[in-house]
Structure 1
Amino acid sequence: MTPQAVIFDIGNVLIEWQPERFFDRVLGVEQRNALFAEVNLHAMNDVVDRGADFRDTVYACAETYPAWRDAIRMWHDNWLDLATPEIAHSVRLLRALRVKAVPVFALTNFGIGTFALAEPRYPFLGEFDRRYISAQLGVIKPDPEIYAMVEADCGIAPQALLFTDDRADNIAAAKTRGWQAHLFEGPLGWAQVLVDQGLLTREEAA
């Protein structure tokens, strides 16, 4: 079935999200490994993505691990340095689809506070036809409920939704719902999918 809407994840699809890279730079690899071994920072971030206050969550975690207090607070205080740079080819694909009047949605695990930081830095975040942000919905991928929420809101049959995400568990959950889904491993592969689906020409997807 030809897709009636294309759905983008954001982290590692449109914006690189590599917190370890930031901490490697500021702490060194050995210290970063020690920090991430002792403190589950990604689980902390999941709490934010479910709707918890960004600063309060990070700072509370920092107080739980006083030896790492300053480093953990960087997750909040330096967040834009963790979420960078944009993936330019993916942004071009988003915009090319919009030029062709293909509805384009975002489905992303993102906090309210973090999205408020990201949107001024990355104007394309305001260019989606619909945005499904986990913190606003109160549920994160790959929970089936978030996919059901998308279906109910947009009114498009699952088989007519084409979704890309960089995490295999999120893709598997979408496929279980009947969505067409592509595991994002780089913009070239995603571009080829859009060409194969007849949504863009090869030139438009370049």
Structure 2
Amino acid sequence: MAIEAVVFDIGNVLIRWQPELYFDALMGEERRRAMFAEVDLHAMNERVDAGEDFRTMVYDTAERHPEWRDEIRHWHDNWVKLASPAIDGSVTLLRALRARGVPVFFLSNIGEGPLEQGQEIYPFLGEYDRAYISGAMKVVKPDPQIYQMVEEDCGLAPETLLFADDRAENIAAAEARGWQVHLFETPRGWGECLVSHGLLPEGVAA
């Protein structure tokens, strides 16, 4: 069955998401490792992804760890620098799809607050036909419920959705529901996948 919508993850597909690199530059790798060992910042972020208030969650975590207070607050105050740079090749593919009239959806584990910050800096984060954001949906990938919610909302058959994500467990969960999938590694590989489905012309992936 033909693809009727292309679904993009955001982190590490459209924008780089490796906050450790930001903190290495901010405070040095040794101190960053010490902070991440003491404070589970990724667990904090997962709670934001699941719908907790962004600023409250980060600032409360900072207050519980006063020795790292200023550094932890960067997770909120400088989020657009943590989530950078844009992955330009993927942005090109997103825009090429939309220019050809192919519906583009987002399906991302991201809080509403971080997405709003990102949209102020990255216009392409507002360039979609439908956005499915875990922070608003209160469900995170790879929970099968989030994929079911997408299907019910868009009304498309699972096999007509083509989904790119950088995490194998998220891809596996979508594939189990019948979605067509691509494990994202590079924009070139994703572009070649889109060409193979007849969604983009030869040469775009280059």
TM-score range, shorter chain: over 0.9
Q: Any idea what SS the aligned residue of 1:139 has? A: coil
Q: How does 1:125-140 map to 2 (within 5 A)?
A: 125-140=125-140
TM-score by length of 1: 0.97
CA contact (8 A) 1:7 1:162 kept: yes
TM-score by length of 2: 0.97
What's 1:2 paired with? 2
Q: Any idea what SS the aligned residue of 1:181 has? A: strand
What's 1:199 paired with? 199
CA distance in 2 between counterparts of 1:128 and 1:16 reads 19
What's 1:89 paired with? 89
Point out where structure 2 has 5 or more consecutive residues left out of the alignment. none
Code of the aligned partner of 2:12: N
CA distance in 1 between counterparts of 2:77 and 2:95 reads 31
CA contact (8 A) 2:11 2:17 kept: yes
Check if 1:190 corresponds to 2:196. Answer: no
CA distance in 2 between counterparts of 1:124 and 1:101 reads 16
- Tell me the alpha carbon deviations over residues 48-69 of structure 1, each in whole angstroms, 9 at most, x when there is no partner: 1111111110011112222221
What's 2:118 paired with? 118
CA distance in 2 between counterparts of 1:37 and 1:168 reads 25
CA distance in 2 between counterparts of 1:27 and 1:183 reads 33
CA contact (8 A) 1:96 1:205 kept: no
CA contact (8 A) 1:107 1:131 kept: yes
Displacement of 1:114 in angstroms is: 0.9
CA distance in 1 between counterparts of 2:136 and 2:111 reads 8
- Tell me the alpha carbon deviations over residues 111-138 of structure 1, each in whole angstroms, 9 at most, x when there is no partner: 1111111112111111101111111111
Displacement of 1:70 in angstroms is: 1.5
CA distance in 2 between counterparts of 1:168 and 1:68 reads 33
Q: How does 1:94-113 map to 2 (within 5 A)?
A: 94-113=94-113
Point out where structure 1 has 5 or more consecutive residues left out of the alignment. none
Q: Any idea what SS the aligned residue of 2:182 has? A: strand
Code of the aligned partner of 2:112: I
Displacement of 1:81 in angstroms is: 0.9
CA contact (8 A) 2:17 2:82 kept: yes
Code of the aligned partner of 2:165: D
CA distance in 1 between counterparts of 2:44 and 2:114 reads 13
Q: Any idea what SS the aligned residue of 1:131 has? A: strand
Displacement of 1:150 in angstroms is: 0.3
Count of residue correspondences: 206
Code of the aligned partner of 1:145: Q
Q: How does 1:1-206 map to 2 (within 5 A)?
A: 1-206=1-206
Code of the aligned partner of 2:125: L
Displacement of 1:38 in angstroms is: 1.4
Displacement of 1:178 in angstroms is: 1.0
Displacement of 1:203 in angstroms is: 2.3
CA contact (8 A) 2:191 2:204 kept: no
CA contact (8 A) 1:166 1:184 kept: yes
CA distance in 1 between counterparts of 2:192 and 2:178 reads 21
User: Deviation above 3 Å: which 4+ runs of structure 1?
Assistant: none
